[in-house]
């Protein structure tokens, strides 16, 4: 596994911990962190305050706890309705107003939480020093915004401004103090009254906005507008200069997808297929691959029966299926009352419901068979074999499916598109291949040979994820199980070169997001993402990044169990 992938796994664990802290402080189970953002259920919470937003992007262990505490206290001590009722117009005013509200919430944390107060202070100081050492402080606007942040923070908390920068801001502080001094005093007076505090904040917003309007200049050779939100955010949430690259999803907005009122298009389905792996991989080859897979599973030294027991604990539910008679307590059994006459010491005249734990669940394992997954084919085959067998032992109905394309770069659909004059917005331009490794009703011993087909390299081509998830869902919906789940195993975003070139590079990406979001919002089926060395939180709110660098080991299985048993997950 590459260093970038290791960092991605580490980042996900850090954000999982941060999300748990926020849920603990706020008492709200709907909060979670993913992809450098705070979410309430499936909806992203905007974060504009500079010392919070920049720290969430950097996500370094040293300051991350302070950033998490900043997010948590904002949710606890800031009233959403009051904040938005007084929100000023224009991006500049909104950013200043947001900064003042964030600093207010941090200043009113009770002394009963000394750890949180220390973290908040450390985070602000760290951001201040970073800003001071950046080139932004060389601009008049940068100095003005920084000085305002220092003055408000100092006044609300009774702290001295950051010592290293005190001389640097002295002249600017002396210049604006007469203009906002009264309002600063009101901020401190009303910091426990958000409504009154907002009124004082708006006076400062107007004053500083007027100063910036008169001072705004070119920054780093790029001419910017007075009302440019992008430029102001750059000033506040500055680039620290640390270029740490994480293995993450390249995602964005697809203009082709949004502008097309029809939604997701498919140019033609006539070449698509749904096949069993045994339809296109020879029997004798599968036997050889199965022997190879058996050896790999054996060398993993995984106790599958113990793993199955852990999965049983997740999916089993207590059910009343009969009665136990002859009990010494419970419901009176009228048929045994005569025993009290013949033997007054007889107490076994009661009956109780017999409760047994049973599993009524079906789970679909959906495997991304794209070309980039070929590198992990061996480990993926071992993981699917172990996970599938353990689920079956736990009593879960398991269906194992895969998705890829028949060809690279479009194939026959693209040829047809060319022959028709390449009309605009063709949508998906490749022939998909949906693969069945095991149906839900197939016994495990009959499916073992098919699963070994994952070791065949030429199975892996390109991937069209959104349609594959819809296909898996349609098959799962026919199940009568009370608990239904889909687990998608993937190493990245959807990729089909022909479709991307004919539409745009985020066309398939946006479709997958829409499909997954609908499933998550419906609540009828749980859907999870297992990323192979990658954070899939861009698509799945419940996901885990697996490190297969050392093969399938107990740590990997622990990650899967932790994901499946948690109701709220990144």
pLDDT digits (tens, 9 = 90+) for 129-156: 888 877 665 567 778 888 999 999 999 9
Which pLDDT score is estimated for 228? 36
Which pLDDT score is estimated for 344? 66
Lowest average pLDDT, out of 299-303, 407-411, 555-559, goes to 407-411
Lowest average pLDDT, out of 144-158, 179-193, 253-267, 473-487, goes to 253-267
Q: How far is CA 276 from CA 219, 391, 553, in A?
A: 60, 21, 29
Average pLDDT over residues 85-98: 86
Average pLDDT over residues 58-84: 84
Q: Which of 122, 128, 188 is nearest to 155 (CA)?
A: 188
Q: SS3 for 386-428, per residue?
A: HHHHHHHHCCCEEEEEEEEECCCCCHHHHHHHHHCCCCCCCCE
Which pLDDT score is estimated for 219? 37
Average pLDDT over residues 509-524: 91
Report the share of the chain in percent with pLDDT over 90: 45
Average pLDDT over residues 88-114: 90
Mean pLDDT of the chain: 83
Residue 241's pLDDT band, with cuts at 50, 70 and 90, is very low
Joined together, the tokens standing for residue 216 give: 């705004």
Q: Tokens 């020879």 belong to which residue? A: 282
Q: Is a pLDDT exceeding 80 seen at residue 570?
A: no
Average pLDDT over residues 432-457: 92
Q: Is a pLDDT exceeding 60 seen at residue 82?
A: yes
* Exposure of 217 in the CB half-sphere (CA atoms within 13 A): 12
Q: Is a pLDDT exceeding 80 seen at residue 440?
A: yes
* Dihedral sign, Cα of residue 237, residue 242, residue 244, residue 249: positive
Lowest average pLDDT, out of 143-147, 224-228, 318-322, 549-553, goes to 224-228
Joined together, the tokens standing for residue 228 give: 């440019």
Torsions phi, psi of 171, nearest 5? -65, -45
Domains of the chain by residue range: 3-236, 258-311+359-565
Lowest average pLDDT, out of 330-339, 414-423, 479-488, goes to 330-339
Q: Which of 511, 545, 548 is nearest to 528 (CA)?
A: 545
Average pLDDT over residues 233-251: 43
Whether the CB-CB separation of 362 and 440 falls below 8 Å is answered with yes
**Residue 323 to residue 373: CA distance in whole angstroms:** 52
Number of other residues whose CB lies within 10 A of the CB of residue 490: 27
Which pLDDT score is estimated for 289? 93
Q: Is a pLDDT exceeding 90 seen at residue 434?
A: yes
CA 405 to chain centre: 27
Average pLDDT over residues 483-498: 90
Residues in a beta bridge with 355: 320
Lowest average pLDDT, out of 154-158, 180-184, 544-548, goes to 544-548
Which pLDDT score is estimated for 481? 87
State the virtual CA torsion across 555, 561, 563, 564 in degrees, nearest 10. Answer: 160
Q: Is a pLDDT exceeding 50 seen at residue 230?
A: no
Classify residue 222 by burial, with Cβ atoms within 10 Å: 0-12, 13-18, 19+. exposed
Q: Is a pLDDT exceeding 90 seen at residue 197?
A: yes
Higher per-residue pLDDT: 228 or 505: 505
Q: Is a pLDDT exceeding 70 seen at residue 243?
A: no
Average pLDDT over residues 396-423: 91
410: alpha, beta or left, given left = phi > 0 and alpha = psi -120 to 50? left
* Exposure of 62 in the CB half-sphere (CA atoms within 13 A): 6
Average pLDDT over residues 197-205: 94
Whether the CB-CB separation of 449 and 290 falls below 8 Å is answered with yes
Average pLDDT over residues 250-267: 79
Average pLDDT over residues 534-550: 85
Higher per-residue pLDDT: 136 or 346: 346
Q: How far is CA 454 from CA 179, 201, 313, 381, 549, in A?
A: 70, 61, 29, 6, 18
Lowest average pLDDT, out of 469-478, 543-552, 560-569, goes to 560-569
Lowest average pLDDT, out of 69-78, 182-191, 228-237, goes to 228-237
Which pLDDT score is estimated for 3? 62
Q: Is a pLDDT exceeding 80 seen at residue 102?
A: yes
DSSP labels, 273-304: EEEEGGGTS-HHHHHHHHHHHHHHHHHHT--H
Which pLDDT score is estimated for 276? 94
Q: Is a pLDDT exceeding 50 seen at residue 100?
A: yes
Fold for the domain defined by 258-311+359-565: Rossmann fold (3.40.50)
Number of other residues whose CB lies within 10 A of the CB of residue 491: 23
Higher per-residue pLDDT: 443 or 257: 443
- H or E element in which residue 468 lies: helix 465-477
Higher per-residue pLDDT: 341 or 521: 521
């Amino acid at each position: 596994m590459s260093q970038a992938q290791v960092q991605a796994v580490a980042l996900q664990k850090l954000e999982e911990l941060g999300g748990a802290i926020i849920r603990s402080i706020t008492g709200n189970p709907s909060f979670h962190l993913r992809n450098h953002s705070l979410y309430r259920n499936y909806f992203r919470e905007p974060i504009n305050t500079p010392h919070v937003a920049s720290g969430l992007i950097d996500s370094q262990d040293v300051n991350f706890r302070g950033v998490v505490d900043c997010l948590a206290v904002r949710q606890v001590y800031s009233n959403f309705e009051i904040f938005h009722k007084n929100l000023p117009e224009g991006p500049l005013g909104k950013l200043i107003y947001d900064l003042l509200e964030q600093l207010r919430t941090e200043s009113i944390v009770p002394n009963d939480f000394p750890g949180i107060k220390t973290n908040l202070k450390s985070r602000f100081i760290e951001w201040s020093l970073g800003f001071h050492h950046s080139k932004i402080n060389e601009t008049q606007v940068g100095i003005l915004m920084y000085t305002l942040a220092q003055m408000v923070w100092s006044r609300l908390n009774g702290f001295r401004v950051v010592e290293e920068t005190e001389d640097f801001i002295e002249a600017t502080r002396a210049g604006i103090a007469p203009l906002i001094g009264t309002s600063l005093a009101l901020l401190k007076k009303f910091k426990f009254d958000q409504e009154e505090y907002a009124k004082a904040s708006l006076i400062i917003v107007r004053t500083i906005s007027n100063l910036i309007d008169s001072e705004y200049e070119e920054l780093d050779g790029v001419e910017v507008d007075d009302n440019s939100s992008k430029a102001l955010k750059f000033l506040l949430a500055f680039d620290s200069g640390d270029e740490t690259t994480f293995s993450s999803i390249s995602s964005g907005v697809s203009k082709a997808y949004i502008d097309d009122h029809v939604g997701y298009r498919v140019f033609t389905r006539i070449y698509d297929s749904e096949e069993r792996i045994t339809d296109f991989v020879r029997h004798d080859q599968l036997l050889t691959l199965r022997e190879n897979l058996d050896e790999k599973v054996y060398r993993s030294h995984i106790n599958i029966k113990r793993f199955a027991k852990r999965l049983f604990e997740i999916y089993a539910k207590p059910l009343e299926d009969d009665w136990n008679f002859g009990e010494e307590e419970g419901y009176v059994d009228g048929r045994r009352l005569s025993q009290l006459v013949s033997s007054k010491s007889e107490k076994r005249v009661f009956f109780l419901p017999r409760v047994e734990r049973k599993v009524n669940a079906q789970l679909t394992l959906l495997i991304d068979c794209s070309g980039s997954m070929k590198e992990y084919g061996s480990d993926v085959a071992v993981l699917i074999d172990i996970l599938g067998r353990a689920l079956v032992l736990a009593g879960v109905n398991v269906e194992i499916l895969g998705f890829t394309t028949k060809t690279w770069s479009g194939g026959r659909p693209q040829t047809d598109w060319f022959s028709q004059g390449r009309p605009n917005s063709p949508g998906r331009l490749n022939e998909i291949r949906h693969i069945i490794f095991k149906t839900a009703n197939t016994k495990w011993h009959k499916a073992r040979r098919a699963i070994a087909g994952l070791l065949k390299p030429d199975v892996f081509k390109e991937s069209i994820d959104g349609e594959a998830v819809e296909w898996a869902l349609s098959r799962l919906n026919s199940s009568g199980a009370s608990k239904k789940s889909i687990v998608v195993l993937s190493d990245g975003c959807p990729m089909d070169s022909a479709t991307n070139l004919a539409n745009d590079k985020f066309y398939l990406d946006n479709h997958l997001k829409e499909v997954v979001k609908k499933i998550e919002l419906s609540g009828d089926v749980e859907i999870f993402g297992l990323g192979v060395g990658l954070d899939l939180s861009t698509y799945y709110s419940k996901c885990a990044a697996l490190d297969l660098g050392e093969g399938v080991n107990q740590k990997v299985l622990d990650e899967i169990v932790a994901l499946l048993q948690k109701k709220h997950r990144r």
